[in-house]
Amino acid sequence: MGIGSTEKGKLGELYVFSKLIEMGAMPFVPTADVKGIDAIVRKVDGTYIEIQIKTTWPPEQAGYFNVSGLVERENLFIVGVIMGLEKPETWILPSMIFIKNATVREKGTVHLLSLGLGETKLEKSRREELAEYREAWHLLTGNPKGKPQASSGRRSNMKCHSCHHEMDKNLHCLIAQPSEIIDKHLAEYFKGYRTELWKCPQCGHHKIFIYRNDYPHFDVPLGKLR
């Protein structure tokens, strides 16, 4: 049984969220669907924007993005994702640009931006006009190059996630390379990342610090390990 439209939309959202985190931004998801906002995003400079994500899949109207009740706001961005390709394609447009280039339908309540897959003359023309907004992740992250944030190197200290005790790397870092314990808890997800396993001397809880060049840091609490 294939996945439904709701699941397809959720996959698009998760793809966008993962890309934002990878590039140093942080999405916050509302507990309820409020005015079509899928997430509030904290950019790398600490400012916030709103995003609405629209996901399409071929062959059903891929690249045709419908937004209902859209009202132009300076801090609102429409993120159109085409999934189901060899690599997902993302169009990131300020709401003003989206409205300017969209067709108004259903008595002005729906804006349709027709980018398609570039298979028709009209689609190719529209894609060329809006080319600067294709994969324009810097608009959402504040990262000028739209690339993952570079690592600042190994940490010399960190706080325990449980009791907030200050830990020193020279004293409390147990393993400074991939290990059977780390692989057991993180499976294949962080394979290829450099890792450190720390143990808090006060409460005995463990924590993994994971980093890789050009990627942000990850702190993973593990609790007490035997």
Look at residue 2 in the predicted model and tell me its pLDDT.
60
For residue 152, the Cα-to-chain-centroid distance in whole angstroms is 21
Residue span of the structural domain in which 211 resides: 157-223
As beta bridge partners, residue 134 has 91
Phi and psi at 155, nearest 5°, equal: -85, 145
Residues 165 and 191 in one domain: yes
Residue 152 lies in a domain: no
204 domain residue, yes or no: yes
Please check whether residues 136 and 166 belong to one and the same domain.
Answer: no
Helices (H) and strands (E) in the chain, counts: 6, 14
Same domain membership, residue 117 and residue 80 = yes
Structural domain count of the chain: 2
Q: For residues 42 and 95, state if they share a domain.
A: yes
How would you write the pLDDT of the chain (226 residues) with one tens digit per residue?
Answer: 467 778 888 899 999 999 999 899 999 998 877 777 999 999 998 999 999 999 999 887 899 999 999 999 999 999 999 998 888 999 999 999 999 999 998 777 899 999 999 888 989 999 999 999 999 999 999 887 655 554 444 455 666 666 676 766 555 555 544 445 444 544 454 555 566 666 777 777 766 665 554 444 445 555 555 4
Q: Where is the domain boundary, 80, 110, 141?
A: 141
Same domain assignment for residues 131 and 208? no
Q: Would you state the pLDDT for residue 194?
A: 60
Whether residue 129 sits in one domain with residue 195: no
Q: Which of 107, 141, 175 is the last residue of a domain?
A: 141
pLDDT of residue 96: 94
If asked whether residues 128 and 164 sit together in one domain, one would say no
**157 contacts 166 by C-beta, under 8 angstroms:** yes
The enclosing domain of 92 has a CATH number of 3.40.1350.10
For residues 18 and 82, membership in a common domain is answered with yes
Q: Is residue 147, in this structure, part of any structural domain at all? A: no
Residue 133 has a pLDDT of 95
Q: Is residue 149 part of a domain?
A: no
pLDDT value of position 58:
86
Same domain (yes/no): 50, 105: yes
- The answer as to whether 39 is a domain residue is yes
Quote the pLDDT of residue 143.
80
Do 24 and 48 lie in one domain? The reply is yes
In-domain check, residue 177: yes
Q: What is the pLDDT of residue 138?
A: 93
Residue 71 to residue 203: CA distance in whole angstroms: 51
Q: Do 126 and 177 have their domain in common?
A: no
157 to 44, 152, 164, 169, 208: CA distances (angstroms): 23, 13, 12, 5, 13
Same domain, 128 and 165: no
Residue 193 lies in a domain: yes
